[in-house]
């Protein structure tokens, strides 16, 4: 029998009273997103489950590292961790992360936005009973990503702690029975979360973000076809294997590979485009809010007789948030600071700075060309000296041969015979 979501597992009191504060590191987010992406592209079956390593200091819990876990099917279709495999892998990670020492602080999986379901309870009970009784659950919501919830600026995930609560419906009835205790059920409460990062993680995340500009799309059908031909061919048929490898290499070479300059440009343009989209979304949100306000709260609202909003009908106090209006007014008051008061002077100063930059670049080009001319003159001198030495060497050899010929025709002394 499989587990079904028959009741909500989220506690009625959503606010946690334990005082726990979660500090989430970017490496955990990258690991979870990578695992979900690979699981989806490979069309793997089964749940996505992983362990979370971190530190537990008082009321602060840090989530610093994550890794994938193997699961098995238990009794009544319950999904559980592979105990032997998990203990070995957990000890390996603890041996690696000794300074600072990391321990098992929770686990992660995918859930709907409504919260954990019944099939998530067996794994959580296994972890809190065998490893850490205060383990937390990081629930990632893929449906929120598909629905475009990331535009709100909130991460599509929720972190829960587990508590045991009694059933509210049966509380009054159970009090009538003497000596009978109220059954406790496992519930989940949402914990506050903040993203924390170190200098090393900032460098790594920046490197990963820049590497996204070099992502290329390779035709999966071509790769599958090449691999299929190589796998179905017999062992002795090397020509088919080589053809499959060459076809796969050709598909990779035909993909558009970008140079480092192109990667830098794409990364910069992508960051600017995302910033502009976010700015446009926030401006539209403010505009929609101001449009929904009563006319009496809009400045200089014209009436039917052409006067301002002095006689406009009052609105109910509950419809307007004055703190938001004050923040919007402060933002509008800061806008003139971005616009120069004297446009002509600003333009002249910009042209002057542009001329200075152009002049410096021109001087640099002239210096580089002078260096190149000097290098060319040096090389020309070396070649010319070599040619002159070669010519002088040729004339000396010819003179030697001429002298040898003259000696050859002279007779030897006392014999009258020439030298041989």
Phi-psi domain of 115 (left: phi exceeds 0; alpha: psi -120 through 50; beta: other): left
Question: Which one, of 182, 140, 139, 133, lies nearest residue 162 by Cα?
Answer: 133
Phi, psi of 74 (to 5 degrees): -100, -150
Beta bridge partners of 106: 52, 136
Which single residue is written with the structure tokens 């040096």? 378
| Strand 184-190, strand 157-166: pairing | antiparallel
pLDDT higher than threshold 50 for residue 64: yes
Does residue 189 contact residue 11 with C-beta atoms inside 8 Å? yes
Query: What is the C-alpha separation between 26 and 199, in angstroms, rounded?
Result: 11
CA angle centred on 36, ends 33 and 40, rounded to 5°: 140
The pLDDT tens digits of the residues spanning 90-138 come to 999 988 888 888 999 999 999 888 888 888 888 999 999 889 888 999 9
Does residue 258 contact residue 213 with C-beta atoms inside 8 Å? yes
Q: Among positive and negative, which fits the CA dihedral 345, 347, 349, 355?
A: negative
Give the residue with greater pLDDT, 316 vs 280.
Answer: 280
Greatest Cα-to-Cα distance within the chain, rounded to the nearest angstrom:
155
Q: What is the pLDDT of residue 191?
A: 87
Give the percent of the chain with pLDDT over 70: 67
The reported pTM is 0.49
pLDDT higher than threshold 60 for residue 230: no
The pLDDT tens digits of the residues spanning 138-175 come to 999 888 877 665 455 678 888 988 888 765 544 444 45
The pLDDT tens digits of the residues spanning 301-351 come to 454 455 544 444 444 444 678 888 888 888 888 887 777 777 788 888 889
Question: Which one, of 7, 64, 35, 48, lies nearest residue 188 by Cα?
Answer: 7
């Amino acid at each position: 029998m499989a587990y079904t979501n028959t009741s909500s597992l989220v506690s009625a009191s959503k606010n946690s009273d334990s005082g726990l504060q979660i500090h989430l590191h970017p490496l955990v987010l990258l690991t979870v997103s990578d695992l979900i992406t690979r699981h989806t592209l490979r069309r793997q079956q089964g749940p996505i489950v992983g362990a979370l390593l971190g530190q537990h200091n008082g009321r602060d819990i840090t989530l610093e590292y994550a890794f994938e876990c193997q699961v098995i099917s238990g009794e009544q279709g319950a999904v559980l961790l592979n105990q032997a495999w998990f203990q070995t892998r957990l000890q390996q990670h603890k041996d690696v992360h000794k300074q600072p020492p990391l321990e098992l602080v929770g686990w992660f999986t995918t859930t709907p936005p409504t919260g954990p379901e019944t099939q998530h309870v067996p794994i959580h009970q296994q972890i809190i009973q065998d490893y850490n009784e205060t383990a937390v659950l990081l629930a990632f919501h893929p449906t929120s990503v598909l629905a475009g919830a990331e535009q709100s600026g909130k991460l599509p995930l929720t972190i829960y702690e587990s508590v045991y609560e009694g059933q509210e419906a049966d509380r009054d009835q159970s009090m009538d029975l003497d000596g009978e205790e109220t059954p406790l059920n496992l519930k989940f409460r949402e914990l506050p979360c903040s993203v924390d990062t170190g200098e090393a993680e900032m460098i790594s995340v920046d490197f990963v973000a820049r590497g996204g500009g070099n992502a290329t799309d390779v035709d999966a059908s071509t790769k599958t076809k090449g691999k299929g031909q190589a796998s179905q061919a017999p062992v002795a048929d090397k020509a088919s294997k080589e053809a499959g490898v060459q076809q796969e290499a050709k598909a990779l070479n035909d993909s558009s590979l970008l140079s480092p300059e192109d990667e830098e440009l794409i990364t910069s343009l992508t960051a600017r485009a995302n910033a502009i989209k976010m700015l446009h979304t926030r401006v539209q949100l403010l505009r929609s809010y101001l449009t929904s306000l009563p006319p009496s709260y809009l400045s200089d609202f014209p009436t039917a007789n052409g006067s301002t909003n002095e006689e406009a009908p009052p609105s109910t106090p509950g419809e307007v948030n004055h703190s938001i209006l004050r923040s919007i007014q402060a933002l509008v008051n800061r806008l003139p600071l971005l616009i120069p008061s004297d446009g002509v002077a600003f333009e002249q100063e910009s042209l002057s700075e542009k001329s200075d930059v152009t002049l410096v670049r021109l001087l640099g080009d002239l210096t580089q060309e002078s260096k190149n001319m000097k290098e060319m003159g040096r090389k020309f001198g070396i070649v010319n000296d070599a040619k002159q030495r070669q010519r002088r060497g040729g004339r000396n050899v010819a003179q030697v041969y001429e002298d040898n010929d003259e000696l050859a025709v002279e007779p030897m002394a006392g014999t009258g015979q020439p030298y041989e």
